């Protein structure tokens, strides 16, 4: 169980798809939905507590894995900033015909600018395509975790989980 995650820090595709917080590709293609990449029983529940529509369920035992109800989820993204593990993303596979909109938590300075073309990285930090920044949200409630939304080719929407700005404070490979 979770061998890939435990030995490499990266969830394998199968490990990912088995998570109760990760909706199927079919659901992702219907519209914006939270993808909760939380695989271990950690005593933690801010995602459930912050969800305005009750779409995230953990229950009384706070060690339970969060379960996403894709029907109730509106893709608002509040949970992105609430997750202390930075493990929640919102993916909208129906953004345009060919593009998906992905929203990620971002805790680096400087923030990108709307319209910027940046490198889109997968779970291993490898560049897989370019992304275009379309929205940046930060508020007191998000407590310094910005939510950055960008568009990428649709087929990459379950791969891309981070971005790299040229000149930003991040690893250059």
The residues near 128 (Cβ < 8 Å, ≥ 6 apart) are 120, 121, 122, 156, 159, 160
Least separation in angstroms between CB 2 and other proteins: 7
Task: Give 26 or 143: the residue with its C-beta nearer to other proteins.
Answer: 143
Task: Give 95 or 164: the residue with its C-beta nearer to other proteins.
Answer: 164
Strand 88-92 and strand 33-36: the pairing is antiparallel
Question: CA-CA distance, 65 to 82, in Å (whole number)?
Answer: 15
**C-alpha distances out from residue 88 to 6, 82, 83, 171, Å:** 19, 9, 7, 22
Structure tokens at 66: 């969060």
Structure tokens at 18: 């088995």
Task: Give 14 or 173: the residue with its C-beta nearer to other proteins.
Answer: 173
CA-based angle 127:104:70, to the nearest 5? Answer: 115
Task: Give 96 or 125: the residue with its C-beta nearer to other proteins.
Answer: 125
Number of C-beta neighbours around residue 62 at 10 A:
13
Task: Give 6 or 96: the residue with its C-beta nearer to other proteins.
Answer: 6
Question: CA-CA distance, 32 to 76, in Å (whole number)?
Answer: 8
Least separation in angstroms between CB 97 and other proteins: 27
Least separation in angstroms between CB 145 and other proteins: 7
Least separation in angstroms between CB 77 and other proteins: 15
Query: Using CB under 8 A as the criterion, which residues of the chain lie in contact with other proteins when the complex forms?
Result: 2, 5-11, 37-46, 49-50, 61-63, 82-87, 107-108, 121-126, 143-145, 161-162, 164, 169-173
Least separation in angstroms between CB 30 and other proteins: 26
**Measured on CA atoms in the order 171, 157, 99, 135, is the torsion positive or negative?**
negative
């Amino acid at each position: 169980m979770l061998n890939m995650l435990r030995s490499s820090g990266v969830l394998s595709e199968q490990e990912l798809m088995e998570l109760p917080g990760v909706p199927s590709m079919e659901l992702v293609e219907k519209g914006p939905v939270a993808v909760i990449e939380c695989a271990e029983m950690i005593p933690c529940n801010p995602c459930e507590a912050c969800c305005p529509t009750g779409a995230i369920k953990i229950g009384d035992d706070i060690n339970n894995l969060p379960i996403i109800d894709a029907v109730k989820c509106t893709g608002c993204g509040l949970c992105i900033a609430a997750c202390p593990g930075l493990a929640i993303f919102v993916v909208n596979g129906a953004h345009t015909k060919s593009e998906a909109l992905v929203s990620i938590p971002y805790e680096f300075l400087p923030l990108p600018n709307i319209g910027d073309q940046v490198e889109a990285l997968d779970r291993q930090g490898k560049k897989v395509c370019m992304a275009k920044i379309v929205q940046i949200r930060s508020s007191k409630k998000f407590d310094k975790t910005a939510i950055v939304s960008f568009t990428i080719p649709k087929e990459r929407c379950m791969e891309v989980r981070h971005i790299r700005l040229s000149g930003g404070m991040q690893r250059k490979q």
